[in-house]
């Protein structure tokens, strides 16, 4: 599978978002997803300590076993962990990283990400603590998540002033139906050479073709949850989805393939880290980037999205 750069890391352009591990699926089901991903050439797994309150990291580690050296693991800190704490202070970072290393059963985290900004802690202090982890060999690269363009610039200035490690990636919500990172955040990533990681690339399943206008939401899907459905589904979005399905099918493809290919048409996007609960979803995700969109395709898609 094709790879792209995140700092010094070479990540597969299709990754696995492990937010379902410990939440929607158990350890055995997670292992099936991980095995399918490895068989398909995926080397990039993105998790967080807060997913399943540590279970996602544990399930990932258990599934990888002796194959840890074959993959790139990204995890996150900042959110509240029961009995552990929360935040981005240097003291808490030292606690959080040791806990993640223990759950992941590894000596080093490839990409350690600040899950969201912590306004109570100067970014220079957070970066200083992360730089210490890099120098100690416990973390290879550091990244941010849910940062604005202004916050990305502030972090870059702080790391430059300290001559220390700086963020090499930004993970924000981005999809065909949610284009907020355009243009500010994406432009900032391009300017600084940061890899961009879109989360919710399939809009929690809305861009898979399972959800159709005028039809009930299938049971057992993420969108069958009332709260999730309220967040991601409305009549306007469903109307756009119908247009996208028709366009993709006219080209001999699926809307899922369109969602992946559209994101990967942007060189700044390093990897599309879609979640999965079963191997069949991994197979569909890894086949998706085979559709290379032309400039004409992208212009036509922009018209549909408008």
What pLDDT, on the 0 to 100 scale, is given for residue 213? 72
Is residue 218 assigned to a domain?
Answer: no
Report pLDDT digits (tens) over 69-91: 999 999 999 999 999 999 999 99
Q: Which residue has the higher pLDDT, 251 or 213?
A: 251
CB atoms near residue 294 (< 10 Å): 9
- Write down the catalytic residue from 51, 92, 112, 174: 51
Is residue 84 assigned to a domain?
Answer: yes
For residue 170, the 8-state DSSP code is E
Q: Give the residues across from 72 on adjacent strands.
A: 44
Which residue has 């490839």 as its token pair?
110
CB atoms near residue 209 (< 10 Å): 18
Distance CA 50, CA 79 (A): 6
Report pLDDT digits (tens) over 31-40: 999 999 999 9
What pLDDT, on the 0 to 100 scale, is given for residue 101? 98
Number of domains composing the chain: 1
Average pLDDT of the segment spanning 52-70 = 97
Active site residue 174: no
Length of the chain: 306
Is residue 58 assigned to a domain?
Answer: yes
Residue 185 Cα distances to 175, 188, 282, angstroms: 14, 5, 28
Q: Give the pair of three-digit tokens for residue 165.
A: 């490690």
Contacts of 278 (CB under 8 A, 6+ apart): 29, 32, 33
CB atoms near residue 179 (< 10 Å): 13
The range of the structural domain enclosing residue 60 comes to 3-210+258-292
Is residue 196 assigned to a domain?
Answer: yes
Q: Given pLDDT bands bounded at 50, 70 and 90, which one contains residue 224? A: low
85 SS3 class: strand
What pLDDT, on the 0 to 100 scale, is given for residue 212? 78
Report pLDDT digits (tens) over 263-299: 999 999 999 999 999 999 999 999 999 999 999 999 9
Tell me which of 37-51, 109-123, 223-237, 282-296 is least confident.
223-237
Task: Using alpha carbons, select from 200, 172, 201, 204 the residue that is nearest to residue 186.
Answer: 172
Is residue 158 assigned to a domain?
Answer: yes
* CATH code of 120's domain: 3.20.20.100
- E strand residue ranges, the chain: 3-6, 9-12, 14-17, 44-46, 72-77, 109-114, 139-145, 167-173, 195-199, 272-275
Q: Given pLDDT bands bounded at 50, 70 and 90, which one contains residue 221? A: confident
Q: How far is CA 243 from the centre of its chain?
A: 26
Is residue 277 assigned to a domain?
Answer: yes
Res. 255: pLDDT tops 70: yes
Res. 242: pLDDT tops 80: yes
Q: Which residue has the higher pLDDT, 230 or 96?
A: 96
What pLDDT, on the 0 to 100 scale, is given for residue 230? 65
Residue 103 Cα distances to 61, 133, 185, 297, angstroms: 7, 17, 32, 44
Examine residue 183 and say whether the peptide bond preceding it is cis (omega within 30 degrees of 0).
yes
Is residue 244 assigned to a domain?
Answer: no
């Amino acid at each position: 599978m094709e790879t792209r750069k995140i700092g010094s890391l070479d990540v597969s352009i299709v990754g696995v978002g492990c937010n379902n591990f410990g939440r929607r699926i158990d350890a055995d089901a997670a292992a099936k997803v991980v095995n399918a991903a490895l068989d398909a050439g995926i080397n990039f797994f993105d998790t967080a300590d807060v997913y399943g309150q540590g279970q996602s990291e544990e399930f990932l580690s258990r599934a990888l076993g002796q194959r840890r050296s074959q993959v790139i693991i990204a995890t996150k800190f900042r959110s509240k962990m029961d009995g552990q704490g929360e935040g981005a202070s240097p003291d808490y970072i030292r606690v959080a990283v040791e806990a993640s290393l223990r759950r992941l059963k590894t000596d080093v985290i490839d990409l350690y990400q600040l899950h969201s900004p912590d306004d109570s802690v100067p970014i220079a202090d957070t970066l200083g603590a992360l730089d210490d982890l890099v120098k100690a060999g416990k973390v290879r690269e550091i990244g941010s998540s849910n940062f604005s363009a202004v916050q990305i610039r502030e972090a870059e200035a702080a790391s430059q002033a300290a001559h220390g490690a700086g963020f090499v990636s930004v993970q924000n919500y981005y999809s065909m139906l949610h284009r907020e990172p355009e243009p500010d955040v994406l432009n900032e990533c391009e300017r600084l050479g940061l890899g961009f990681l879109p989360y919710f690339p399939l809009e929690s399943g809305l861009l898979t073709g399972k959800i159709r206008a005028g039809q009930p939401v299938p049971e057992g899907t993420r969108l069958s949850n009332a709260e999730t459905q309220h967040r991601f589904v409305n009549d306007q979005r469903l109307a756009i989805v119908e247009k996208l399905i028709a366009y993709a099918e006219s080209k001999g493809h699926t809307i899922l393939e369109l969602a992946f290919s559209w994101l990967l048409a942007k060189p700044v996007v390093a990897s599309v880290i879609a979640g999965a609960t079963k191997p069949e979803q991994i197979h569909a995700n890894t086949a998706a980037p085979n559709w290379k969109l032309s400039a004409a395709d992208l212009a036509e898609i922009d018209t549909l999205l408008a």
